[in-house]
Structure 1
Amino acid sequence: MKNKFQKYVYVLMFLSFFTGSAQEITPVPASIYENIEIEMPKVSLVSFPSLVVSIKDYGAVEGGFEKNTKAIEKAIYEVSKKGGGTVKIPRGIWLTGPITLRSNINLHLEDGALLLFSKDFNDYPLVDTSFEGLNTTRCTSPINALSAVNIAITGKGVIDGNGDAWRPVKKGKMTASQWSKLVASGGVLSEDGKIWFPSESSKKGFESRDYFNVPNISSKKGLEAVKDFLRPVMVSLVKCDKVLLDGPTFQNSPAWNIHPLMSSNIIIRNLNIRNPWYSQNGDGLDLESCHNVLIYNNTFDVGDDAICFKSGKDKDGRNRGISTENVIVKNNTVYHAHGGFVIGSEMSGGVKNVHVSNCNFIGTDVGLRFKSTRGRGGVVENIYISNINMINIPTDAIRFNMFYSGNSPILEENQSAEDEARDENKVAVTEETPAFRNIYMKNIIATNSGKAAFFMGLPEKSLENVSLENAILEAEEGITVIDTRGLKLKNVKVISKKTEALTIYNSQDITVDAFTFSENEKAVVKVLGTQSANINLKKSDFKNSEKQVVIAKLLAKETVSFQE
């Protein structure tokens, strides 16, 4: 019996030498599905066969000097061919070109593993894809998958996209010594000397576009000539189902960091997502036209928006017609970012049925950010946000902007507030008119902000049915409401240092109940514009309403009513 037992142990040891040990996939905690305001489907979790291989078994060489593209590709191919399993990246530095994930593959990075992507642009051929919501052509993403099922990236290692090799950098975002070092490293400067490009091809691409980062070039020859400008997102998962990202640090991406597109049953958890604060288009997570998603226990510190929901841009997005919906976002922390939680501006396919709760935004430019513009179309609705803590938000703790044209929340050197100035003139409501409605926020605390909240719809299409309940907002400026219908403020305290606590302009059906405020030399509520109507305040909230509530002379006194 003893000999048989020993023989059994030796067999197990022999197998484990070649296969390693299978990586357990932790179930989703029941708490993630608790206290959700709308019915959400359970997200399918990945599972993998017990086969585990190391990339070293396929000839990979650590150290960061030799590319391991072929070894990693072979490991993934062989494991997929055998029905799936785990491809292990051991501790060490592993240089590689693009990695394509196949169905039933778990790419697992051990603690201490650094997967470093090559900065040789020739490793990344052009492919047809979508970027910034448009059908376009970009360089192949460092990690990519198309129509794969049951895939994962797990472990405690680091994935580095070598993004500094790709990204243009604006002089105003660096110190003098950083800028001098960057210029001395090579590359070329813009004509005015204020933007550094990694190559002449990158500069040429920048000069060829009219708007954002998609050049006005369609020919293959023309695109090849500006190839260096066509920065890829680091992780591109297109039309995939059953996806798990769990554990690693994703950093230094060429453009957006993680971009699930037209995919479903996605779990994104326990990630550390980082980009330098100066990184152009250095978003953390852009979830686009995806269904059934969980995003929890992640940390973001990035150069652009952190957690951003999209669904295509303008005609391309409307033709795609795939919304982002059924998403739960919980227990995330965001440090530097243009926005903590963001919807838009590319939302032409719609965003709906979203729950966001228990998140901290620490120093993000904007806290809760909603953005769109005429021409987008699409509907954003049924968004539930609760238990959000924000501190040191330099601009708006909450911001709805329907005149977004690409400005950073904190204006950069080449940007002007006039670029996104409100247009008083109404235009026809068509399929190109964006709609934001039925958005509910409660238990919100923001301290030391630039502005408490900014709600702005379109003159022809109001921001509709937004609710803010149980909030404490400390800011230099109070709440501004423009072209909004059906706004409800309940149990909201505004500590405004410089302006009125609440300014309402051309808005209707506004209800304010249990409103408290700090005293300054300004009035508390100001109602302006010729279109404002049916503003309902609680009488008990104002000790001296004649002085505390100011109504524009052009408006009838009945515009504002005081309820008992």
Structure 2
Amino acid sequence: MIVRYIGVWFITLLLLAGCRSLPLEQQLDKILPTAEQVGADHLPETIEGVETPFFETKFARPQFPDRRDTVFPNESIQEKLDRLASQGGGTLLLKGHHLTGRITLKSNIELRLDADAVLEFKSEIADFMPVVFTRNEGVELYSLGACIYANGAKNIALTGTGRVVGPGEGSIRKQIMTHDVIENIVDSQTPVEQRIYDGKTADFIFPPALIAPINCSDVWIEGISLERSAFWNIVPTYCDGVVIRGVRVNSVGIQRGDGIDIESSRNVLVEYCTLNTGDDCIAVKAGRGYDGLRVNRPSENIVVRYCLSEKGHGGFTIGSETAGMAKKVYVHDCVFEGTDVGIRFKTRRPRGGGGEQIRFENIRMHVVHSAIRWDMLGQAQHVGNQASRAFKVDVNPLTPRFSAIQLHNIYIGSSSDCIKIEGIPESVLEDVTLSRVFARGTRYLSMKDAKDVRILNSKFDCQDYTIDTTHVSGLIQKNVEFVGKH
């Protein structure tokens, strides 16, 4: 049985009432969802109410004008979308196989992919001209935007059970900027309207996401399957009121092939999605470096539930671009089955931001490397000397921070590191509570630059119980059992 938040404590108590004599791992095994109970295969038709510890909101299926049209192969999708929009909106049904350039959704439009529909995107930069306003890796600029794009639209939807296929081999993939990190390429002092990357002004482009509405409200994405992305798959940016449900993403082997990235958006629900990705499965982001500070828009009021993350770098990640902060994020009843890392918090000294008021609850995972991971330093190839904690950095506007984080009812079936924390000396990780955690792994706990971390009512089955600590204060372990430790 899946534990819904609605009275999560009450329901959990009822379920535990008959098994309190069982070991913690068996208690959790009874109440936590399995891979066979979550993900796109189990998408219900109706949307349940949403309860969170941080905010109140309602999500409802959008309504569209009773006006319908169908687009068949060799017909222009954009022309029919524009015609429908000029009439006040409605639903456009896509049938068959379509090969197209960028599509731009307009207000009050539902684009529905029939079961046999394949929406495939062309591979040349010319097919995505003119450049459009977008945000790429947390920096505002003008480039290719997204395969399915919208700017300033209200009440839009992308639904159905068809497939969306990204660009193949062509100038888009050949001219992607890969030679440096974006903040070294796009000067934060340059006016946004002058940041043009069309493959001619500069000899490279910033690649299009598959689906990326920007400055939109009431966005609904449901049921579709995504594959062969050139970049991130679904990226709502500066949006308010977003529902992503029952989506399947397959971008395994694609560098930076994130599944769902919530970017400086608010009031977001992600549920019953299945993700196999070339990078993070689900991530929360909020801008990068000084450009992210200039915009200063958080990602907040976010619920992620009943999702299945299979292959990917992280099952669920906060960061690493979080200059505007990630706040009021609630992730519950999800399964991470085979990802590299389970729950990951990432910041970088030159990127700013961080997160607070974040809660994970009722999570089951089997991971390759770290189960619960804070990584606030990064790698030298991306941030140079700042990736070393020995490199002194004074507190500055880009100093990141994480605090006020809770993890409750977490089952870790396998991992290398159960808990691995790398904060930064000038801004330590603080105020973290892990309760009712069962974890099986090689190593129990490694901590650098942290304070006020509490591990409560938990059980660990590890080969190595050495606690590796550097610059740590206020570590509390209470009612913690260590299997085989003498």
- 1:97–1:117 contact (8 Å) kept in structure 2: yes
1:318 aligned residue: 293
Distance 2:158 2:57 in 1: 23
Q: Does 1:109 align with 2:109?
A: no
**Aligned residue type for 1:431:** P
Distance 2:198 2:244 in 1: 37
CA 1:481–1:426: 2 relative to 1, 3 Å: same
Distance 1:230 1:463 in 2: 33
2:104 aligned residue: 100
TM-aligned CA deviation for residue 467 of structure 1 = 0.8
1:174 aligned residue: none
Distance 1:221 1:442 in 2: 45
Q: Does 1:356 align with 2:322?
A: no
Q: Does 1:242 align with 2:218?
A: yes
Q: Does 1:152 align with 2:126?
A: no
What are structure 2's unaligned runs of at least 5 residues?
A: 1-43, 188-193
CA 1:507–1:478: 2 relative to 1, 3 Å: same
2:376 aligned residue: 402
SS of 1:369 mapped into structure 2: strand
Q: Normalised by the size of structure 2, how large is the TM-score?
A: 0.84
Give me the identity figure in percent.
30
2:445 aligned residue: 479
Output one character per residue of 1:212-263: Cα deviation in whole Å (capped at 9) or x when no partner: 5974697758841655543111111000000000111121111111111000
1:135 aligned residue: 140
Output one character per residue of 1:471-501: Cα deviation in whole Å (capped at 9) or x when no partner: 111112221121111101012222222x225
> Matched residue pairs, number?
436
CA 1:491–1:419: 2 relative to 1, 3 Å: farther
1:266 aligned residue: 242
Distance 1:504 1:159 in 2: 47
- 1:398–1:454 contact (8 Å) kept in structure 2: yes
1:39 aligned residue: 55
1:494 aligned residue: 460
SS of 1:300 mapped into structure 2: strand
Q: 1:517 aligns with which of 468, 482, 486?
A: 482
Q: Normalised by the size of structure 1, how large is the TM-score?
A: 0.73
Q: Does 1:368 align with 2:343?
A: yes
- 1:289–1:349 contact (8 Å) kept in structure 2: yes
Q: 1:504 aligns with which of 466, 469, 483?
A: 469
- 1:164–1:254 contact (8 Å) kept in structure 2: no
Distance 1:133 1:283 in 2: 14
Larger relative contact order (Cα-Cα within 8 Å, sequence gap ≥ 6): 2
Q: 2:126 aligns with which of 122, 131, 149?
A: 122
CA 1:55–1:305: 2 relative to 1, 3 Å: same
Distance 1:297 1:289 in 2: 22
Which is further off, 487-496 or 286-295? 487-496
- 1:114–1:158 contact (8 Å) kept in structure 2: yes
2:282 aligned residue: 307
Q: Does 1:53 align with 2:69?
A: yes
2:229 aligned residue: 253
Q: Does 1:78 align with 2:73?
A: no
TM-aligned CA deviation for residue 272 of structure 1 = 0.6
CA 1:221–1:232: 2 relative to 1, 3 Å: closer
2:400 aligned residue: 434
Distance 1:102 1:403 in 2: 41
Structure in which a larger fraction of residues adopt helix = 1
Output one character per residue of 1:373-423: Cα deviation in whole Å (capped at 9) or x when no partner: 2133324110010111111x221011101102487xxxxxxx99x978541
Distance 2:47 2:369 in 1: 35
Distance 2:218 2:286 in 1: 19
**Aligned residue type for 1:46:** P
TM-aligned CA deviation for residue 118 of structure 1 = 1.3
- 1:438–1:465 contact (8 Å) kept in structure 2: yes
SS of 2:416 mapped into structure 1: strand
Distance 1:486 1:426 in 2: 23
Distance 2:368 2:241 in 1: 35
Q: 1:232 aligns with which of 208, 221, 240?
A: 208
Output one character per residue of 1:155-179: Cα deviation in whole Å (capped at 9) or x when no partner: 1111111355578xxxxxxxxxxxx
Distance 2:92 2:281 in 1: 29
- 1:159–1:249 contact (8 Å) kept in structure 2: yes
SS of 2:55 mapped into structure 1: coil
**Aligned residue type for 1:40:** E
CA 1:236–1:213: 2 relative to 1, 3 Å: farther
- 2:197–2:204 contact (8 Å) kept in structure 1: no
CA 1:262–1:140: 2 relative to 1, 3 Å: closer
1:210 aligned residue: 180
Q: 1:451 aligns with which of 406, 417, 428?
A: 417
CA 1:235–1:406: 2 relative to 1, 3 Å: farther
Q: How large is the Cα RMSD of the aligned pairs?
A: 2.5
Distance 2:407 2:308 in 1: 18
1:181-196 → structure 2 map (5 Å cutoff): none
Distance 2:184 2:92 in 1: 35
Distance 1:123 1:338 in 2: 31
- 2:64–2:90 contact (8 Å) kept in structure 1: yes
Distance 2:206 2:296 in 1: 25
SS of 1:506 mapped into structure 2: strand
Distance 1:280 1:221 in 2: 20
CA 1:419–1:111: 2 relative to 1, 3 Å: farther
Distance 2:271 2:375 in 1: 27
Distance 1:221 1:278 in 2: 26
1:561 aligned residue: none
- 1:425–1:459 contact (8 Å) kept in structure 2: no
CA 1:248–1:403: 2 relative to 1, 3 Å: same
SS of 2:468 mapped into structure 1: strand
**Aligned residue type for 1:428:** D
Please say which structure displays the higher CA radius of gyration.
Answer: 1
- 1:163–1:255 contact (8 Å) kept in structure 2: no
Distance 1:313 1:282 in 2: 18
Output one character per residue of 1:439-459: Cα deviation in whole Å (capped at 9) or x when no partner: 000111112211111122211
TM-aligned CA deviation for residue 428 of structure 1 = 2.6
